[in-house]
Structure formats: structure tokens, C-alpha cells
Amino acid sequence: MPQLVALANRPDVQQSVAQARAVADQVIAHPALRRHGSDIALESSLRGARASAALMGVDVDLEFLRSGHLRLDHPGRPLAQAALRVAQEIPLLENTWRRSPVQALARLHVVAAADLADSLGSDRIGRPRSDDDFDPQDLIDLLVVPPADIAPLLMDLNSLLLNDSSTSALVVAAWTHGELMRIQPFGTRDGLVARAAERLVLRSRGFDPRGLIVTEAGHLSAGRASYQEQLQGFATGDLAAMADWVEHCARAVRTGAATIEVVCNQLAE
């Protein structure tokens, strides 16, 4: 993809990627991981789920998620639980992602929308949407990608993920996240799927091999409105706007790495 190559070759993008890489490497080498790796991974998953739900308007206290004491009548409970399910599925999908990213995406949506099967119909779960309806919780004001274009666009993305081994993992992760939000392939809970896909790219390409960086928290730290504006810029196809999105993702990686570094430091005490 010429646009992706041009994006990856921009000096501003390369600088942002290098800065994020340095911060990520520092966290990956943290001594606490030798003794507390599983606890840290669990905390990363929990914080990522909480932030991903918050990016869709459901901002639940971390301790409520941790304890499992979210009220049954809490209006955000279905989405918060969906975010938790997706976060738990990510490490289980790494091998599938390496073989067939589109299959992993379908599985992510099955997990994300498991509670919607009765209302949507089981035939719509894990399959490309057939209409122009979108999840209002994503609230991304983008040009509508027609249903007929979804499958070809997903196959293009699948081909990129399988065949491109030279582009920076962070750039590919940002591109994947942005494309999935632009396409809105499933029409429900696409945001949860897109943010999980970003993590899978970073994990499977060795940037974050243990999947510890809380990228979702990094996106949230910039503010929900800023996150949406950056995605809208990416969707225009303008190279400068797309570079802004990649730089936003690089900042999210740095913030997400700092988030988990705090956890590592606490456990190391």
C-alpha cells in the first residue's frame, strides 16, 4: 500500500515510533515481570478493558471491574462486560491472528457481541454488516463505507497484515486500528474490536510480545473527543492527518507503557 509506505517514511512518524519503542523496551525489561508477570498481564487486561469501554462512553471505576461488583442494573454493564471478554480473548487469539487476521477479527466480534445475539440475530454476530447501521456508542462521525465494500477492504487489510514484514509494528497497528474504525465492519462494538486488533498487531510483531502495554488507556488519556477527531482525520486519507493519527497512537503507547510501569514498580516494592 503506497500510502502506508509514505506514512512510515515520514520523519515525524519515524521519530514518534522511535520514542515509543524506547519506552516500550524499558517496560518489557522491567525486573518485576520475572516474578509477577501473570499478575501484571491481568492488570493490563483489566485496565485496557476499562479504558476501551470508557472510549465508548461507559466509564466504570476500575475497582468495580476488579471486584466484579458492578450493579446488575448499571446501564453500562453490558458494554463493560463485553470489553472484559474481549480483553481476556486477546492472548488466546495470537496464533489465529498470525494465520488469519480476518478470522481473529470475526472471533473478537463474536466475543464482543455475545450478549447481542438475541437482539441482532446470531447470523449478524462475527459477520460483516449488511446495512449502514452503526453502534451509536462508537460515535465516530465518518463517511459511510457501503456494505458491499466491507469484505474487499477486510481482505486488503488481511493481506497487508500477512505480507508486510518491513513496516514498523506501531505504524501497522495504528493503520489497522484506524482502518477498522473507518470501515466499521460489524456495525456493533467495532471500537472494542479495533482496539483489541491494535494490541494484537503490537503483540504478534514483537513490539510488545507479552501484551502488557495498555494502549487503550493511552487513547483515553488524550480525551474521547481527541481520539474521535484523530480517527476522523485518518479516515480522510490525507497523509498529514494520517500521520497525526500515528503520532497519537505512538503517544498512546508511551502512556500505556507508563501506566503498566507504575504497576510493575508497585509490585517490585
- Residue 118 burial (CB < 10 Å; 0-12/13-18/19+)? exposed
How many structural domains comprise the chain?
1
Yes or no: say if 71 and 77 are a contact pair by the CB < 8 Å rule.
Answer: yes
Rounded to whole angstroms, the Cα distance separating 53 from 230 reads 18
Yes or no: say if 15 and 246 are a contact pair by the CB < 8 Å rule.
Answer: no
Does the pLDDT value for residue 58 go beyond 70? yes
Cell numbers 445475539 correspond to 117
Residue-wise pLDDT for 173-195, tens only, equals 999 999 999 999 999 999 999 99
The parent domain of residue 159 ranges over: 2-268
Residue-wise pLDDT for 10-44, tens only, equals 999 999 999 999 999 999 999 999 999 999 999 99
Rounded to whole angstroms, the Cα distance separating 107 from 12 reads 35
Supply the pTM of this predicted model: 0.94
Residue-wise pLDDT for 192-204, tens only, equals 999 999 999 999 9
Give the CATH number of the domain where residue 242 resides. 1.10.3290.10
Cell numbers 448499571 correspond to 74
Cell numbers 503506497 correspond to 2
